[in-house]
Structure 1
């Protein structure tokens, strides 16, 4: 039990990766080491005798030491990785070595990516991601050196709470930069400069050759399936090698809607199926050719090493993905324990494998695959530990009865896994599929017991008996088409299979406690019901009202703000639109942000004007968020096309006011008569919103300028001579024709904020605007540098500013 807590302390310490390790942390570590060492030495010298309480204190000290060591180790590892990350975008030429095959970009399905080692940027080779359009079939060959010319793309995503963190994902993949390929030239190894000689020698070593051979086999499998031109060849390739480069977007979306996307990842079952198949064939071969071998060595001991070796080989074939790596470490630890004749609890083995995995790569703690893999394994252990004893206790006489019990156990486990993983799915993905238990009961047996084993046999035989291998693949293609037909039918008859509830972090935590108590709490139904009622009561306890909170959301080159007042939720602008069929700001940034705060309905949306970078996110936002009313300077068919035809609309105009308990909102422009020429002067007729919090200390007033320029600024100066502004959201993203010197000097805000995209093609904010702000000593915060910015009232009525990029080191 104590070892479990020590391992858990190590994992929790690693989980603090990215947090600042302040000097007090090291001081605490030294104090704990001194205390623990002192107690241990005193006991060893028999100066003291440990009683119960002193033993507990020593154990707690050791756990704290392990936690602090884990935290420091993760911080040091992250620091080393970040030192190789590119921070400036430029066109350059690099020398690279290729040992990764090209794959479809998981973030942009219309582009391809290929990992390469860049030799001439740092003292050691670093991994970059080469990108090019899907129609451009430039695939660099394995084991070759190239000179590439192109543009360095600095990794920069949307820094918004609750939104997929692209920078974190790329860092975990060890990509230090992306590179937009323009031209390339193959190089011979002997033409490289002497500084690269050590790297060239490393590639001649056995492990490097083995890794290159494995990648070539993955490429050969893809090319073989391409030649067969099977309709479901892409799905077969994904199931065999986790290579989704040939998988259609339609199939991916179907699997995602039905909650079976995890079947496309190479997880423990895939690896174990391969190892079990190999060992079964090996055992049968030994029984036929050399049966006396089992007299010298028991079968379990004889097959242990081949089994472990197969697990390692298949995990290496799929690139040591986190779920497969978890299986490798678990099987290796278990095999070692069997050899040394030591017993160990299943939970301890699981924690030990997680600790070893994080020792080699602490960045795995950042991935959803790590948490989903280990928590699902923990749940399976608990389910089968409880249910397995019941089945074994039955006096089973019939094979049919045994099969029935196993099917029953499988169905029950699928429901329990679905319910137990629900809080984690909501925490990571903010959605779940109500069909997941049913589709898993259908797809898991077909894919796990039929398709994957036969596909492995076919891929192993295609070099020796090609006709049989092809026949097997055609059979599997027919089975997969039947499975997909059934899944598509389920998808069609079920509307809104994907549920996106809006739960706050506190609600998700209490929900997980409630589920854990109901599913796994022992000793009686009434105790479970009691604890369930307590957890539900905590979950539905009214949360403290937010007096005032204004968030400038990082939406790239656009603008979107969320205003929370008591129980009222308002938005000012909704970000931009790009290729909405592939990716939308509303669906992938604004919606997750709102749902993560428990918001499914907006009382009002004020759209400053109908430029795409201010309201383009509306079309994809409508899939999840309800809106009660609109306010803008212009009406457009886009409201109807987005599904808001019946939502009340009102033109914004000077003089409109809304009074709340702690804040006041007022529209300062445009004038009513100016609404007639909005089409000709769309920017200068932007809705200018003024927000005031009279009781706040510090920042009391906010002026949101939309895309207004100099004429509107002059108008405000004339009509509101006594206007006080503490925070100015400068107009038109810092365009040179906004934020005039006289306007800034007249307002003299305490802080200027601009919502702008990284390396935008307009050059915003303009150098002239930056010079004006600097000359007037007005500090500036930009979303491209700070991410989302949250202004909120604390309990002392002090207006606080929280910058999202300050929360994680890899975002700075």
Structure 2
């Protein structure tokens, strides 16, 4: 039987559905989608009955395969173990006083290793560790931290999909390690890769070195965060990863050189088929590289066999092969973007062939890629840059035809004569510096960045159907209908909160601090009470890290963007302590702020002064909270109860807000302590509440017996950092709350506390059960 175009592409879709059905929480929805997919195939003509049967078989087979892999993805180690003979499995990464790498234990299980150096001399000792070294490691096992905030990066799941279940924190470095006598082929490749990375780092200055390493070896860990964020916002981050275009250029260049030196085409095809898997390993084995290399390898193999297969089937075979290697790749954003964009470009090849002008063709390619990736970009990054199609027309040729070749030229010079590479580095540094500055400058103008929020699963399905319809309409020369449907989907998404009858209160797990986001039903109001902020302490220069976790940039801003927040109606800063206002700087430029509310006496400290100064510069109103005043939106109401006077103590002078949300009375108390509680009861002796945000993170100087006995909360929420040095929450406070029969929620144990409500009522949930 002669197979039709797209035969293997259909099987690839069936494979993806099988994996998704096995692992997703939306089993019934995916099963329905699978049935629709099978029905569509069944409706094809009689020649496709084999395809129908194979599609069912592939869906069932990959579902079983994913279940088998998942069930066997378990650890053989136990938490009480302390000794771990094993070998170094990954390069050592040193950032300040922290060293991290992977080891493979005797049980053939990979462990993530952390070591915090106490002396600078240890840096040189740990740099001596090389891939394959066998040591006896001593330390404490702990489980990776799962996501404790909505929409946050889930480090535990990230490691799980790499079959890593434990983080080993070393007590000390091993005294002696044995170098391997017989190095495996894979270890040898990893060693050569690391030697290449080290060679670039030693002889090329930053940021040029980080770009060369990213484009040649697929390692983006050294790229500057500011530049990386700018490229991500503008939809250019794919240029900093090894993609199909890079693999194509490298393959074509190698083929051309081989032909020029006299090797026949047939032998060059064989050589390239052998070299492509090696290049995948050298480039770090990212899904996008595997996809491009597999497609190229399949095409070359078919050329040798003198058989013809359509490009769409080549990408289908590549997808099946990659998922066989690791079914978890389906959930990797690199896999999703690589295959969706490649497939769309192949399907739109007829459109591109009609365009003769090279620049116009490049613009259309960029637009097709942006439309194809739009649902995924919104799902993973919550925003879209209107400048992306135009900027890709500029940046794609620059990187593909200039930066990539120059990077390889510099690397070859490094291999031959490292001392002379400095003479050629300006060929890369000056143009790259100009283009990076250009990208950062455009990213600083928020007018081009459209924050949509994270689409729901039904909305994602609508987006995907809209994208398919868009390309179909383009193919039959009715493109305006496709554009209209896609724009309608985007307009609905942009305004989705206006039709959402659910409100939300999120007490974030912001560490040792407070940050509480409130959204009213039908987008009647978006408010933020405090921002959190981590204390930093001076330390020696060698201990300072280039990439430090920041609760503002890594927790607060992503949550607001994922919720589709483009404007905060009120930013309420309860008082001037850094753990309540330290992340305000992260909000400027990321979200519009209508009004900042501060307590009496705010503006004394340096951080407070800077906030007021920046608010004035940006034209943001700053108001002082006045007791017994507030505002109302529908059935929701907000009243400032405290402070009624100026307090010397910032904690005692915290803004106290009484709110009615979801038919419950909420009392947000900042860091108010005993004196403030006493004054509050004096002014409001009949105060009673349903939900109490416990003052001062559960300190024993707050939440006194008298106060709790008067307000009688049904629910108490404590925002505190894990293993904080203050010992919050104190046991005395927990005992007092138990005495008034309050249900206690704690961010340090349960992650973010979420209250989802309507105008009639609501329910509590936690990120960590």
TM normalised by structure 2 equals: 0.81
Aligned to 2:610: 638
- Quickly say closer, same or farther: Cα 1:91–1:662, change in 2 above 3 A: farther
Q: How big is the shift at 1:550?
A: 1.7
What does 1:107-126 align with in structure 2 at a 5 Å threshold?
Answer: 113-119=99-105, 123-126=107-110
Q: Where does the alignment leave 5 or more consecutive residues of structure 1 unmatched?
A: 37-49, 191-202, 288-293, 392-403, 807-812
Q: How big is the shift at 1:331?
A: 3.4
- Aligned partners of 1:686 and 1:708 also within 8 Å: yes
Q: Distance in 1 between matches of 2:419 and 2:234?
A: 30
Q: Distance in 1 between matches of 2:396 and 2:387?
A: 14
- Aligned partners of 2:386 and 2:450 also within 8 Å: no
Counterpart secondary structure, 2:342: helix
Pick the aligned partner of 1:10 from 6, 15, 20. Answer: 15
Pick the aligned partner of 1:570 from 521, 524, 527. Answer: 527
Q: How big is the shift at 1:116?
A: 2.4
- Aligned partners of 1:96 and 1:118 also within 8 Å: yes
Aligned to 2:91: 101
Aligned to 1:241: 217
What does 1:710-721 align with in structure 2 at a 5 Å threshold?
Answer: 710-716=674-680, 720=684
Q: How big is the shift at 1:314?
A: 0.8
What does 1:511-660 align with in structure 2 at a 5 Å threshold?
Answer: 517-519=469-471, 521-522=473-474, 524-525=476-477, 527-541=478-492, 543-546=498-501, 548-565=503-520, 566=522, 567-577=524-534, 584-634=550-600, 635-636=602-603, 637-644=609-616, 646-660=619-633
> 1:481 and 2:449 equivalent?
no
What per-residue deviation string (whole Å, max 9, x for no partner) do you get for residues 271-323 of structure 1? 34443343334444445xxxxxx6xxxx34x4333212111011111221221
Aligned to 2:240: 264
- Aligned partners of 1:632 and 1:650 also within 8 Å: yes
- Aligned partners of 1:102 and 1:114 also within 8 Å: yes
Greater C-alpha radius of gyration: 1
Q: Distance in 2 between matches of 1:489 and 1:572?
A: 35
Q: How big is the shift at 1:761?
A: 2.4
Aligned to 1:726: 690
Q: Distance in 1 between matches of 2:191 and 2:149?
A: 39
The alignment covers a number of residue pairs equal to 725
> 1:685 and 2:653 equivalent?
yes
What per-residue deviation string (whole Å, max 9, x for no partner) do you get for residues 721-776 of structure 1? 54443322222222233334554455553332222223322232223333444565
- Quickly say closer, same or farther: Cα 1:460–1:756, change in 2 above 3 A: same
Q: How big is the shift at 1:461?
A: 7.4
- Quickly say closer, same or farther: Cα 1:532–1:239, change in 2 above 3 A: closer
Pick the aligned partner of 1:184 from 156, 173, 176. Answer: 173
Q: Distance in 2 between matches of 1:545 and 1:492?
A: 35
Q: More displaced, 173-182 or 647-656?
A: 173-182
Q: How big is the shift at 1:126?
A: 2.2
Aligned to 2:397: 445
Q: How big is the shift at 1:70?
A: 4.5
Counterpart secondary structure, 2:339: helix
Counterpart secondary structure, 1:159: coil
Q: How big is the shift at 1:98?
A: 0.9
- Aligned partners of 1:439 and 1:487 also within 8 Å: no
> 1:130 and 2:130 equivalent?
no
Q: More displaced, 63-72 or 93-102?
A: 63-72
Q: How big is the shift at 1:256?
A: 4.8
Q: How big is the shift at 1:99?
A: 3.0
- Aligned partners of 1:160 and 1:589 also within 8 Å: yes
Aligned to 2:130: 141
Q: How big is the shift at 1:100?
A: 1.7
Aligned to 1:160: 149
- Aligned partners of 1:315 and 1:328 also within 8 Å: yes
Q: More displaced, 581-590 or 310-319?
A: 581-590
- Quickly say closer, same or farther: Cα 1:212–1:632, change in 2 above 3 A: same
> 1:793 and 2:760 equivalent?
no
Q: How big is the shift at 1:458?
A: 6.2
What does 1:162-311 align with in structure 2 at a 5 Å threshold?
Answer: 162-181=151-170, 183-187=172-176, 209-229=184-204, 232-244=208-220, 247=223, 252=228, 255-256=231-232, 259-287=235-263, 299-300=265-266, 302-311=267-276
Aligned to 2:539: none
Q: More displaced, 349-358 or 740-749?
A: 740-749
Counterpart secondary structure, 2:184: helix
Q: Distance in 1 between matches of 2:547 and 2:410?
A: 37
> 1:357 and 2:318 equivalent?
no
Q: How big is the shift at 1:487?
A: 1.0
What per-residue deviation string (whole Å, max 9, x for no partner) do you get for residues 622-671 of structure 1? 1221222232324221322443454333333442243332222223333x
- Aligned partners of 1:158 and 1:554 also within 8 Å: no
Q: How big is the shift at 1:555?
A: 1.7
> 1:668 and 2:641 equivalent?
yes
Counterpart secondary structure, 1:127: strand
Counterpart secondary structure, 1:643: helix
- Aligned partners of 2:8 and 2:314 also within 8 Å: no
Aligned to 1:47: none
Q: More displaced, 160-169 or 368-377?
A: 160-169
Q: Distance in 2 between matches of 1:111 and 1:242?
A: 25
What per-residue deviation string (whole Å, max 9, x for no partner) do you get for residues 13-45 of structure 1? 4346764599x999x99xx9xxx9xxxxxxxxx
Q: How big is the shift at 1:502?
A: 2.3
Counterpart secondary structure, 2:113: strand
Counterpart secondary structure, 2:659: strand
Q: Distance in 1 between matches of 2:641 and 2:60?
A: 54
- Aligned partners of 1:6 and 1:66 also within 8 Å: yes
Q: Distance in 2 between matches of 1:760 and 1:112?
A: 20
What per-residue deviation string (whole Å, max 9, x for no partner) do you get for residues 230-281 of structure 1? 5634432332212446655565466556643323322233334443343334
- Quickly say closer, same or farther: Cα 1:479–1:520, change in 2 above 3 A: farther
- Aligned partners of 1:156 and 1:758 also within 8 Å: no
Counterpart secondary structure, 1:557: coil
Q: Where does the alignment leave 5 or more consecutive residues of structure 2 unmatched?
A: 1-5, 537-545, 604-608
Q: How big is the shift at 1:592?
A: 2.4
TM normalised by structure 1 equals: 0.77
What does 1:425-504 align with in structure 2 at a 5 Å threshold?
Answer: 425-433=377-385, 436-453=388-405, 455-456=407-408, 459=411, 466-467=416-417, 473=421, 477-488=425-436, 490-491=438-439, 494=442, 496=444, 499-504=448-453
Counterpart secondary structure, 1:185: coil
Q: How big is the shift at 1:431?
A: 4.1
Q: Distance in 2 between matches of 1:53 and 1:418?
A: 34
Q: Over the residues paired in the alignment, what is the CA RMSD in angstroms?
A: 4.2
Q: Distance in 2 between matches of 1:772 and 1:19?
A: 42
- Aligned partners of 1:618 and 1:642 also within 8 Å: no
Counterpart secondary structure, 1:183: coil
- Quickly say closer, same or farther: Cα 1:94–1:141, change in 2 above 3 A: same
Q: Distance in 2 between matches of 1:801 and 1:55?
A: 55
Aligned to 2:606: none
